[in-house]
């Protein structure tokens, strides 16, 4: 990303996040080549995937799609940027799975998700609303993280 410095001092933080996210998604072939990413790039990808999925269809959609493969790693990525309130919300969503373990395998995860959906649907919907309150300013925290880890981008 040749113009990273320009991106990190924008008036449009949302636009900068979108451009960084697009760069990372293309670099890892939209999650198919995670080995191409640095650890800091993974942090941003995991955070953006969570936000994208929850905003589009709630925690149910997050766990349904491939982004849910990295639910446990996303806890760490949220903590890495200082988004502790959002991490706590995600932890509560994860806690709805048996033994608070989200299967990495998508098919296995969706089998479990379908079995627990009726009992946990209302909990996830409540957590969706808490997520939408954005007690953590994820864009600002993500940009600060990128600034602090420039060499990883």
What is the second-level CATH architecture of the domain 12-152? Up-down Bundle (1.20)
Alpha helix positions (H), the chain? 4-7, 13-27, 39-64, 71-81, 84-94, 106-132, 138-148
Q: How many CA atoms lie within 13 A of 117 on its CB side?
A: 12
Percent of the chain whose pLDDT exceeds 70: 96
Task: Examine the pLDDT at 10 and tell me if it is beyond 70.
Answer: no
Q: What is the pLDDT of residues 52-71, one digit of tens each?
A: 999 999 999 999 999 999 99
Least confident of 7-11, 85-89, 121-125, 126-130: 7-11
At 122, list the tokens: 């209302």
């Amino acid at each position: 990303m040749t113009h990273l410095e320009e991106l990190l001092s924008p008036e449009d933080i949302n636009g900068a996040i979108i451009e960084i996210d697009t760069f990372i998604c293309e670099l890892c072939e939209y999650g198919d080549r995670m080995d191409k990413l640095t650890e800091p790039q993974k942090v941003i990808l995991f955070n953006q995937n969570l936000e994208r999925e929850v905003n589009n269809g709630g925690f149910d959609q997050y766990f349904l799609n491939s982004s849910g493969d990295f639910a446990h790693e996303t806890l760490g990525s949220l903590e890495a940027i200082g988004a502790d309130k959002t991490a706590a919300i995600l932890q509560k969503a994860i806690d709805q799975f048996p033994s608070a373990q989200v299967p990495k395998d998508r098919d296995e995860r969706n089998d479990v998700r379908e079995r627990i959906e009726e009992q946990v649907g209302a909990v996830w919907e409540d957590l969706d609303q808490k997520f939408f309150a954005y007690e953590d300013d994820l864009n600002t925290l993500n940009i600060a993280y990128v600034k602090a880890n420039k060499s990883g981008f």
